[in-house]
Structure 1
Amino acid sequence: MTLADLIAQARTALDTAIAARQQEQDALMALRSDENLTEETVAARVATRDAADAEVTRRQEALEALEREQVREDELAALQARTVPAATRAPAYDQVARVGREERTYRPDQDRRGAAFQFDVRAAFLGDYDAQARLARHMQEERAERGQQIRSVGTGAFAGLVIPQYLTDMYAPLARANRPFADACRKHTLPPTGMTVEISRITTGSSVDNQSAENAAVAEQDMDDTALSVPVRTAAGQQTASRQSIERGAGVEDVILDDLFRAYGSRLDNTILNVATVGLTNVATAVAYTDASPSVGELYPKVIEGLSGVEGALLDQASGDNLAVMHSRRWYWMQNAMGTSYPLITQPGVVAQTLGANYAEAYGRGVRGILPNGTPVIVDNNIATNLGAGTNEDEIYLVDRQECHLWEDPDAPVYIRAEQAKAANLGVLMVVYGYYAFTFQRQPHARKIAGTGLVTPTFTGV
């Protein structure tokens, strides 16, 4: 990760902190309009606002520190470019590529797709001396800027990752759903051996009753347990690349690994949501929402019904750390609703006149917002959208985060790079794999909202 990437992340974090602080300020102003408010209530809200304000300051200072570091790095790079080692004789004037003071032969602002470069490659092959001279000058410029990092042409599927180098940073990775829900689950370290995780579940508990009379026998019930066997699964993928593409391309191996790692995360997350028998969709108790004209106002009571079921199943084992997990299309549909009604019971951190709050976080960055009763929302596009008789429904899952268990190896996924296996073909085999286990049945509790009310949404403001 480069300094530029860190600066971009810091700016995003600062924008998020500013938005959160503004939300707290809006909530404070709404509270002050209440004639029945107490000083304690206002003080608590002011403290929350001040905490958000402090977070803005912290994020701002972090961004400014990174920007100062970037300025210094740029100064050093410029200084290094002007420095000539004493033991090296300076080249002749006409042998120097003065990048920064002379225009580049191929410039991204004038030829973003590299058409001029490709034309010169073809022309040089056919004997065009002017094209050959331009290509030679381009190579001098590349050596002056990147030195030993420069690579020559690549081949095959990676033709978009070869010279001119300014195009390689613009490669478009395959978009994937990745693992938003898996990242929100309760994490455990996978045991070092074995292909099954065994958990004891108490299925028959003790008995306590009122004593019928003095010296009479008190109630007794033998406790009993049932083993919950959780299988350890293996997610893996491979890619074979030619040695030519790796050795003479630019960043090809990094592109392959990035795609494999994100594919691994998507498969793991998809499995814990959708796999047969033990996936969340198959263990959750359904809360039916059947409606030919669904609306957000009608859906929300189903959410409360589902959360009531979660707590009713867990009883004193409920942590209160609940989550609502939904597809992005459902989250945006819930945000499109307009109306004058709002809950009669206010919730901490939610302005009374609104139906929840959007935190404006990017996809896969954790909690996206909260529902009217304060339940955090995780948006995950591994949730199926082809469910139901019309194959156009999705589902909303309601769970206690502390009972969504995920075991992973701390080093997963593991990367294997094998050259000998494909040596006769001049290929390099890259394999990514990892072991994991999961369960939602240690304390069965999950609920899912499902039915015709969750067909493909239409954004009509209701």
Structure 2
Amino acid sequence: MTLADLIAQARDALNTAIATRQQEQEALLALRSDPNLTEDAVAERVRTRDAADGEVTRRQAALDELLAEQAREEEIAALQARTAPTGNRPPAYDRVARVGSEERTYRPDLDRRGAAFERDVAAAFLGDYEARDRLSRHMQEERVERGDQLVRAVGTGAFTGLVVPQYLTELYAPAAAARRPFADAIRGHSLPAEGMTVNISRITTATSTAIQASENTAVSETNIDDTLMTINVQTNAGQQTLSRQSIERGAGVEPVVLDDLFRRYATTLDSTLINQATNGLTNVATAVAYTDASPTAAELYPKVIQGLSEVEAALLDQATGDNLAVMHSRRWYWMQNAMGSTWPMISQPGIVQQTLGTNYAEAYGRGVRGVLPNGTPVIVDNNIGTTLGAGTEDEIYLVDRNECHLWEDASAPMYIRAEQPAAATLGVLMVVYGYFAYTHARYAHARKVAGTGLIAPTFTGV
């Protein structure tokens, strides 16, 4: 095992320790917000957090020691280069990983579409040792520059997992995709490093208080009880087999294919959050019916307000007020097309009184698109179905942003696997994958406006 391998392991161990420490700190903060906490419980949690702190310190010290050793080895190599005879030369330039003032192995100014990177990925699995060396340098650069984002260990020896250069995920001319507007808007968490479930304890039987009947009589007592909520970790993955001819003779084939896989990954994840059976938003949300053969935006808006009021009523003191209205683009533009002579009787901060909300003129997928008359932000997401109900309906979802939870691996979907499963046909396999878990049901709060009033809209100004 080389010194670089030891440093990589030390970085991974430090990242794991940091993630554990962050989880302990979050648990401590959550405990302190519990009105029934005890000093002993807080002290125990503080001790656990401090132990995690100590582990971070130890891991950092171990990494610093290895880095100091590496720096000394580089000094010795430089000294040797100045004093060694001609026949005893230092390692060749392309045999040494350099990060810092040295240029990156793969750069957007020299390889804008990622052809060199993709050729090396394929060539490495065909036995090209120079390609493996370049990929090894690239992985070392990623660990140095983005080590805090690479939670999972990556085996560079066999190149079973590679981090795609960051610039390659942003510069393609891809096919259109719905991607992940809703997923980006809700509350995100780091996925635990191990396990295929995420567990949350929910208080399902609360304590009680009551007015004491008289002095020295028993006061109210109800035993608190919780129920474990288990959320499955899911795997989102896609693959594509390319011919060796397309890789070696094509122009920019690999980056286009990979980028399309990345976009399908994002779209599938977001669509799962909304549409998946049982746990998707459409299936956990309580319906607010809007039934109308001749729907108008003015009639729809009170249904939205009704849904928001029910969201807050369900959450009570757990409501943050950070609500979202999530709708299809056709519904958002239909609401904008409405004309009217009336407006809300109660004004809202930042909203012009004689309008039905405000459009921010943001592009699709760029966050909040606008606000409704009561100030609720709107997320436009075309993963929402348009063939619901009677067959042409969509839905509007109303949620507390902070009670829609998404756990994701920090590196997803930054990993690919390239193999030669079909050598006889010169096929090269590419796989994009990632792990995630989600829930909208920690509290049963979500609402959806649904019904025949949300059939395919006609833009008539009402």
Q: TM range, normalised to the smaller chain?
A: 0.5 to 0.7
- 1:70-113 Cα offsets, whole Å, 9 max, x none, are xxxxxxxxxxxxxxxxxxxxxxxxxxxxxxxxxxxxxxxxxxxx
Compared CA separation, residues 326 and 146, structure 1 to 2 (3 A): closer
Counterpart CA distance in 2 for 1:290 and 1:407 is 36
- 1:376-413 Cα offsets, whole Å, 9 max, x none, are 00000000000112x00000000000000000000001
Identity of aligned residues (%): 72
Compared CA separation, residues 148 and 294, structure 1 to 2 (3 A): closer
* 1:407 matches 2:444: no
Counterpart for residue 448 of structure 1: 448
Compared CA separation, residues 215 and 150, structure 1 to 2 (3 A): closer
TM-score, length-normalised on structure 1? 0.63
- What are the residue-to-residue correspondences of 1:255-274 with 2, within 5 Å? 255-274=256-275
Counterpart CA distance in 2 for 1:356 and 1:274 is 27
Q: Is the 8 A contact 1:201 1:228 kept in 2?
A: yes
Q: Is the 8 A contact 1:236 1:433 kept in 2?
A: yes
Counterpart for residue 329 of structure 2: 328
Compared CA separation, residues 179 and 217, structure 1 to 2 (3 A): same
Q: Is the 8 A contact 1:179 1:265 kept in 2?
A: yes
How far apart are 1:146 and its partner, in Å? 8.7
- What are the residue-to-residue correspondences of 1:190-201 with 2, within 5 Å? 190-201=191-202
Q: Secondary structure at the match of 1:445?
A: coil
Compared CA separation, residues 149 and 398, structure 1 to 2 (3 A): closer
- What are the residue-to-residue correspondences of 1:70-109 with 2, within 5 Å? none
How far apart are 1:150 and its partner, in Å? 13
Q: Is the 8 A contact 2:201 2:226 kept in 1?
A: yes
- What are the residue-to-residue correspondences of 1:170-181 with 2, within 5 Å? 173-181=174-182
Compared CA separation, residues 269 and 424, structure 1 to 2 (3 A): same
In structure 1, give the amino acid aligned to 2:422.
K
Aligned length: 301
How far apart are 1:173 and its partner, in Å? 2.8
Counterpart CA distance in 2 for 1:177 and 1:150 is 24
Counterpart for residue 420 of structure 1: 420
Counterpart for residue 210 of structure 1: 211
Compared CA separation, residues 194 and 148, structure 1 to 2 (3 A): closer
Larger Rg: 1
Counterpart CA distance in 1 for 2:292 and 2:113 is 61
Compared CA separation, residues 231 and 202, structure 1 to 2 (3 A): same
In structure 1, give the amino acid aligned to 2:218.
A
Q: Is the 8 A contact 1:417 1:428 kept in 2?
A: no
Compared CA separation, residues 340 and 227, structure 1 to 2 (3 A): same
Counterpart for residue 241 of structure 1: 242
Compared CA separation, residues 149 and 174, structure 1 to 2 (3 A): closer
Q: Is the 8 A contact 2:114 2:252 kept in 1?
A: no
Greater Cα shift, 288-297 or 191-200: 191-200
- What are the residue-to-residue correspondences of 1:253-402 with 2, within 5 Å? 253-389=254-390, 391-402=391-402
Q: Is the 8 A contact 1:415 1:430 kept in 2?
A: no
- 1:258-283 Cα offsets, whole Å, 9 max, x none, are 10000000001111100111110000
Q: Is the 8 A contact 1:327 1:381 kept in 2?
A: yes
Counterpart CA distance in 1 for 2:270 and 2:188 is 13
Counterpart CA distance in 2 for 1:180 and 1:271 is 12
Greater Cα shift, 213-222 or 277-286: 213-222
Give ranges in structure 2 of 5+ residues lacking alignment. Answer: 1-108, 116-170
Counterpart CA distance in 2 for 1:150 and 1:268 is 25
Give ranges in structure 1 of 5+ residues lacking alignment. Answer: 1-144, 152-169
Compared CA separation, residues 319 and 249, structure 1 to 2 (3 A): same
Q: Is the 8 A contact 1:322 1:376 kept in 2?
A: yes
Counterpart CA distance in 2 for 1:252 and 1:461 is 46
How far apart are 1:419 and its partner, in Å? 3.4
